[in-house]
């Protein structure tokens, strides 16, 4: 059995991770930590988990966690992971960071976008960007995995085959993405109150959202050249889900068949990516580790509209972290991960 610890276990991503790991046949939860709720039972904070995860929550002490665990999941605010991950720690266990501290390869870009110091830049070259459908071979057996962001997971996977195969003008990419309110975290915020969110939709982080450089980094690697995107996220009144609608100019002469072949080449054998003919909807991936991807070509404008949908807490966070753990330890990649949404929606 793989012994797992979660720091930040009572945030939405951490709690979803505890839920998934509690049903994982090859994993035992040995250390659940929460600075805000230390001393209380996890199931007192999340009553729906009573009987499944009743562990008493510990303090967020990564060194104590390392005494018990083979893998430590960090679900902490930006800046914290880089201050507590050390060589000594990584010699003991695998670290999968659900935060942003090891996603960007360049320390200066991280500090510019996140407005905080990076305390362990020496690990940036070692950390693997944990998007399995693109970096699976790099993830295997590694000890430091940077779990991608939710918007980035959806947007990168939706665009990757088009960029990789040179089917679009990379200077024309516009990403219009929408997320449920759980993406804002569990902390008390005026802008997340029901009466502030319900019956409304709004863009936020316009030109400044922190997932932008992450998207650009991965698409640039795929293209073999610098890619800059226009990315605008929106908050919509639902709990879960992300829908990314991506616009780009098709290279002249590219056909519908060329696009289909590119997606099939990239994802035809992927367990968690469904290439669909219908328009993606967040309700059909809710609670799963799935990505639904579709596209339309506008013959009149010469543009392609590529669309992707995920559950931001599963494939966009906890589910992808479990998928990464499975790969690192050589387990079946889909172990512990739901592969279909519940019905009725």
Active centre residues (catalytic)? 150
Q: Which residue has the tokens 């494939």?
A: 315
Print the SS3 string covering 187-218: CCCHHHCHHHHCCCCEECCCCCCCCHHHHHHH
Whether residue 61 contacts residue 33, with contact meaning beta carbons closer than 8 Å, is answered with yes
Q: Identify the sign of the CA torsion 73, 75, 76, 78.
A: positive
Measure the N-to-C terminal CA separation of the chain; round to a whole number of Å. Answer: 35
Q: Identify the sign of the CA torsion 245, 248, 250, 251.
A: negative
The CA distance from 290 to 316, in Å, is 10
The CA distance from 322 to 324, in Å, is 5
195 to 191, 199, 201, 226, 238: CA distances (angstroms): 9, 8, 12, 42, 13
| Backbone angles phi and psi of 309, in degrees to 5 | -135, 135
Nearest to 310 by CA among 240, 236, 248: 240
The CA distance from 248 to 243, in Å, is 16
């Amino acid at each position: 059995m793989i012994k797992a610890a979660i720091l930040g276990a009572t945030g939405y991503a951490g709690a979803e991770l505890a839920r998934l790991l509690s049903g994982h046949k090859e994993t035992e939860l040995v250390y659940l930590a929460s600075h805000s709720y230390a001393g209380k039972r996890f199931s007192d904070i999340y009553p729906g988990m009573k009987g499944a995860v009743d562990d008493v929550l510990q303090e967020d002490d990564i060194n104590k966690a390392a005494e018990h665990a083979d893998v430590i999941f960090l679900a902490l605010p930006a800046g914290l992971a880089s201050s507590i991950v050390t060589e000594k720690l990584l010699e003991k266990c695998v670290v999968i960071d659900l935060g942003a501290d090891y996603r960007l390869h360049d320390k200066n870009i991280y500090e510019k976008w996140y407005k905080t110091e990076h305390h362990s830049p020496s690990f940036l070259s070692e950390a693997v960007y944990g998007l399995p459908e693109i970096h699976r071979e790099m993830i295997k057996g590694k000890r430091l995995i940077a779990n991608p962001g939710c918007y980035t997971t959806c947007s990168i996977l939706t665009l990757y085959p088009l960029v990789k195969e040179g089917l679009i003008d990379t200077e024309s990419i516009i990403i219009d993405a929408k997320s449920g309110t759980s993406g804002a975290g569990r902390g008390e915020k005026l802008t997340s109150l029901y009466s502030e969110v319900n019956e409304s939709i709004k863009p936020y982080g316009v030109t400044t959202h922190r997932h932008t450089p992450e998207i650009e980094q991965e698409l640039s690697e795929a293209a073999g050249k610098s890619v800059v995107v226009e990315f605008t996220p929106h908050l919509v009144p639902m709990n879960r889900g992300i829908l990314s609608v991506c616009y780009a100019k098709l290279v002249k002469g590219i056909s519908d068949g060329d696009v289909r072949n590119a997606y099939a080449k990239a994802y035809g054998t992927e367990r968690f990516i469904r290439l669909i003919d219908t328009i993606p909807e967040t309700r059909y991936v809710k609670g799963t580790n799935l990505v639904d991807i579709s596209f339309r070509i506008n013959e009149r404008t010469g543009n392609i509209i590529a669309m992707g949908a995920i559950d931001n807490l599963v494939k966009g966070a906890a589910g992808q972290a479990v998928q990464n753990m499975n790969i690192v330890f050589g387990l079946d990649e889909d172990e512990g991960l739901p592969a279909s949404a519940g019905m009725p929606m």
